[in-house]
Structures are given as structure tokens and as C-alpha cells.
């Protein structure tokens, strides 16, 4: 009987140590899962921003293709983003409005910048779309001639990386931290015939 009591006492103490070790293992596992969830959210956000930039770049190129006689009016070097175009142009080129190619280009750029900044999507009166800290540059041949046109879109990412020095669009804006470590860029190029 005395031996039975000793073995029961030993087992009770050993069970407590097992519970503590199990709790430590579970806590470490939960911290790892939380860290993985945070990394996943950051990666998804960055991917969504890159996808938005790609869609915006293609959108402006299609607007330019549909208005080839005013290509020179689309070219902006580092001036798009952050509401730099101000209020809507005096002529809103919709289906019911007759516009000149230059008026259409001005309206296209203003509307596109609104999308870039997120002003086209509102949720409870707050801008909910666009890119974080976006800046854009539109470049092409002199005088809007036929040739290769390039749209460079820069935005603020979630994590620090090495600055993509391949292009300087937006690099002087101060939106992207020290040494532009948070700057992300997307370059979209295409040939447009100016006829």
C-alpha cells in the first residue's frame, strides 16, 4: 500500500510538468501561426496593390489608344497622383458630350488620376480604392508621334526593400521613406500609332 501511494504521488507531479510543457509548445505554435497570418496579410496587400497598378496602367494605355491624335496631351512626367490635376476639367467628356481630342485627353487624365488616388471608390464618404502614396509618369515620343509609350506607376509598399532604381518616377516625392525603401514601381510599355 505504501508503494502504491508513492507511485500515485510521483505520477501527480509528473502530470503537472507534462501540462506545462504542452502549454509552452501550444503557445509557441500559436505565435508561429499568428506571425504567418501577418506575413500572409502583408503579401496579399502588396499583391493587390500591384494588380491595381497593372489595371490602372492598362486602362490609361487603352484611353490613349482610343484618342491617338492627342497623345502629346497625355504625357506627364511625375505630375500625376495626389490630386495634382485638381478639380474636374470644365468639359466632362461623357457619351452625351461632344469633345475635342484635347478635351478628352484632359478629362481622361483627370478621371484616371481620381482612380489612381482612390477618389472614384468611396465607402462611407472616405476614399477606399487606388494605391497608397501613388505617383505616375507618362512618357513617349516627342510631340506625341507614333512610337513606344510608357506608364510608370509608383506606390508605397508594406515592407522595406531595396529602392527599384530602374526608374525615378515619384522618387523625389518623399512618400516612400528613407532611401525610397518602401517605393514599388510598375512599368507598362506599348507601341501606339498616332494616326
Residue 25: predicted pLDDT: 94
Compute the distance between CA of residue 68 and CA of residue 192 in angstroms, rounded to an integer.
8
Residue 78 has pLDDT above 80, yes or no: no
pLDDT one-digit tens code per residue, 18-48: 888 999 999 999 999 998 998 888 888 888 8
Between the CA of residue 78 and those of 37, 66, 182, what are the distances in Å?
36, 23, 17
pLDDT one-digit tens code per residue, 116-135: 988 777 677 777 778 888 99
Compute the distance between CA of residue 96 and CA of residue 67 in angstroms, rounded to an integer.
17
Compute the distance between CA of residue 96 and CA of residue 112 in angstroms, rounded to an integer.
19
Residue 13 has pLDDT above 90, yes or no: no
More confident residue, 124 or 51: 51
Asked if 88 contacts 112 with a C-beta cutoff of 8 angstroms, the reply is no
Amino acid at each position: 500500500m505504501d508503494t502504491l501511494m508513492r507511485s500515485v504521488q510521483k505520477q501527480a507531479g509528473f502530470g503537472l510538468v507534462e501540462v506545462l510543457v504542452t502549454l509552452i509548445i501550444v503557445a509557441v505554435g500559436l505565435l508561429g501561426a499568428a506571425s504567418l497570418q501577418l506575413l500572409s496579410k502583408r503579401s496579399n496587400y502588396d499583391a493587390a496593390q500591384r494588380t491595381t497598378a497593372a489595371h490602372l496602367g492598362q486602362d490609361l494605355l487603352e484611353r490613349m489608344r482610343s484618342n491617338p491624335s492627342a497623345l502629346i496631351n497625355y504625357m506627364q512626367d511625375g505630375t500625376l497622383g495626389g490630386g495634382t490635376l485638381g478639380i474636374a476639367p470644365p468639359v466632362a467628356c461623357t457619351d452625351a458630350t461632344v469633345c475635342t481630342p484635347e478635351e478628352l485627353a484632359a478629362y481622361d487624365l483627370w478621371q484616371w488620376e481620381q482612380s489612381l488616388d482612390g477618389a472614384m471608390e468611396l465607402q462611407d464618404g472616405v476614399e477606399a480604392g487606388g494605391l497608397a502614396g501613388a505617383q505616375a509618369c507618362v512618357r513617349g515620343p516627342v510631340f506625341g508621334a507614333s512610337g513606344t509609350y510608357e506608364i510608370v506607376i509608383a506606390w508605397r509598399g508594406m515592407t522595406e526593400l531595396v529602392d527599384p532604381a530602374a526608374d525615378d518616377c515619384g522618387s523625389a516625392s518623399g512618400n516612400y521613406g528613407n532611401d525610397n525603401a518602401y517605393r514599388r514601381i510598375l512599368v507598362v510599355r506599348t507601341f501606339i500609332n498616332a494616326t
